[in-house]
Amino acid sequence: MGEYIIKRTLQMTVVFFLFLVFSYLLFNAIPGNAFSNLLLNPDLPPDAYNRVLELYGLDKPLFERLQLYIVNFFKGDFGYSYKSFPKTPIELISERLPRTLMLFAIVNIVSFYTGFFIGKILAWRRGSQSETWITLTSVFSYTVFYPWFALMMLWVFGYKLGWLPIGKFLYPEKWYDAPFDSDIVFSSMIKFTIVVSLIQFAAYLATRGIESLSSRRNLRFASLIAIFIGSYFYWNNGAALIKKPYAADIAYHMILPVMVVTIVAFAGTALLTRTTMMEVLKEDYILTARAKGISQKRIRDRHAARTALLPVVTSFIFTIVTIIDGSVLTEQIFSWPGMGQLLLQSVLEEDIPVAMACFSFVGVFALVAHLLADISYSYLDPRIRIKSQG
């Protein structure tokens, strides 16, 4: 296993190097960029023009620039943004990334959970009228033309009913005399979410060994209620009380994007679970379990669903890989100032240092996640583990 990881890491380094070269050349192929637009200012004297070019090293030939870029990249120097000058791409990314991760972590966990649940039931009720209809609905939400659907939802909930805000991260008028930055409030929200989900996860792990299905469910439900009560006390006491209205404002803006993306995203998991579960239900050990007279619910939840979980978990890991890529459209439609919007804006405005930094960030993210997926898969599926050893 160790040898495998080392070999993969070496290959990954080469791939990443190629990726850097390829994306640099790609950006170089676009005619013009934001920087040359700034230099087109007619008030700029010619010697100043040349000096700026020289200062930024843009007068050098392509190959030399590429070399410089890669050397500086590994030194951790990404240059400065062309559009918002004193800021570096790293600063911009570290400001935007938590927002995207928060939004899509919630979406992915919720949609994975509901999708798995629905898919399980679909496979179990195979051939019934309700199965056909629910599957058709899931296919509809899986293949729905996403921007159109999101705009329709915005119209219904944001405009017609007026329940939820139309896009954006917060209401600026509520933040005029706020004692702190929105990022500080947001980071405390992130911490809160992480702690809550860890507690619930721990409750899941603790109740895993309990045999009786109904008492297990009751215990999990009880822990959920305990979390609700605890969070009520947390937000109404001490330091969190001042932040509460501002946190509520951000959370209010998160509802609609989370809801829309979940509706679109759960269907993929549901359909995948349906297929794998149908395959599993054909296995001999399910027949054995039935012959032993185990209750239907137990066969479904403990015998079939756990085996069917394997490919679903893999697809979940691969979904995490595409979070940033997938966030581009969502954040554009809901004007959510996250990583996807930064990536899209920098590409459209040809703010090349930022765009390159975003691209390489997405690349590193994808590579590491792929490696993790391969390793975790070989732990989850014993058949692959044997193959990689032999």
Residues in contact with other proteins by CB under 8 A are 11-12, 14-15, 18-19, 22-23, 26-27, 29-31, 126-127, 132, 135-136, 139-140, 142-149, 151-152, 155, 159-160, 271, 275, 278-279, 282, 321, 324-325, 328-329, 343-344, 347-348, 350, 355, 358-359, 362-363, 366-367, 370
Q: How far is CA 224 from CA 104, 163, 190, 262, 341, in A?
A: 22, 27, 18, 21, 34
Tell me the closest approach of the beta carbon of residue 61 to other proteins, in angstroms: 20
| Nearer of residues 152 and 198 to other proteins, judged by Cβ | 152
Tell me the closest approach of the beta carbon of residue 213 to other proteins, in angstroms: 27
| Length of the chain counted residue by residue | 390
Could you count the other beta carbons within 10 Å of the beta carbon of residue 123?
Answer: 23
Tell me the closest approach of the beta carbon of residue 162 to other proteins, in angstroms: 13
Tell me the closest approach of the beta carbon of residue 302 to other proteins, in angstroms: 21
Tell me the closest approach of the beta carbon of residue 31 to other proteins, in angstroms: 7
CA–chain centroid gap for 387, Å, is: 31
Helix ranges (H only) for the chain are 2-29, 34-39, 46-55, 62-75, 89-124, 129-143, 146-153, 182-206, 213-235, 239-281, 284-292, 296-298, 305-321, 323-333, 339-349, 352-380, 382-389
Tell me the closest approach of the beta carbon of residue 136 to other proteins, in angstroms: 7
Q: What is the DSSP string of 336-366?
A: --SHHHHHHHHHHHT-HHHHHHHHHHHHHHH
The closest of 50, 58, 102 to 82, measured between CA atoms, is 58
| Nearer of residues 189 and 281 to other proteins, judged by Cβ | 281
The three-class DSSP label of residue 126 is: coil
Q: What would the two tokens of residue 218 be?
A: 């009751």
The three-class DSSP label of residue 87 is: coil
**Secondary structure letter of residue 103 according to DSSP:** H
| Nearer of residues 102 and 358 to other proteins, judged by Cβ | 358
Cα 264–Cα 267–Cα 270 angle in degrees, nearest 5: 155
| Nearer of residues 13 and 236 to other proteins, judged by Cβ | 13
Q: What would the two tokens of residue 378 be?
A: 């070989």
Tell me the closest approach of the beta carbon of residue 96 to other proteins, in angstroms: 14
Tell me the closest approach of the beta carbon of residue 289 to other proteins, in angstroms: 17
- Distance CA(168)–CA(337), nearest Å, equals 7
| Nearer of residues 26 and 226 to other proteins, judged by Cβ | 26
| Nearer of residues 147 and 230 to other proteins, judged by Cβ | 147
Tell me the closest approach of the beta carbon of residue 205 to other proteins, in angstroms: 32
Helices 239-281 and 323-333, axial angle in degrees (round to 10): 120
Q: Is 254 exposed, middle or buried (0-12, 13-18, 19+ CB in 10 A)?
A: buried
Instruction: Assess contact for 266 and 115: CB atoms under 8 A.
Output: yes
Residue 337 main-chain phi, psi, to 5 deg = -75, 70
Q: How far apart are the first and last CA of the chain?
A: 11
| Nearer of residues 160 and 208 to other proteins, judged by Cβ | 160
| Nearer of residues 85 and 145 to other proteins, judged by Cβ | 145
Q: Which residue, chain included where needed, has tokens 């979390």?
A: 227
| Nearer of residues 33 and 262 to other proteins, judged by Cβ | 33
| Nearer of residues 203 and 323 to other proteins, judged by Cβ | 323
Tell me the closest approach of the beta carbon of residue 57 to other proteins, in angstroms: 22
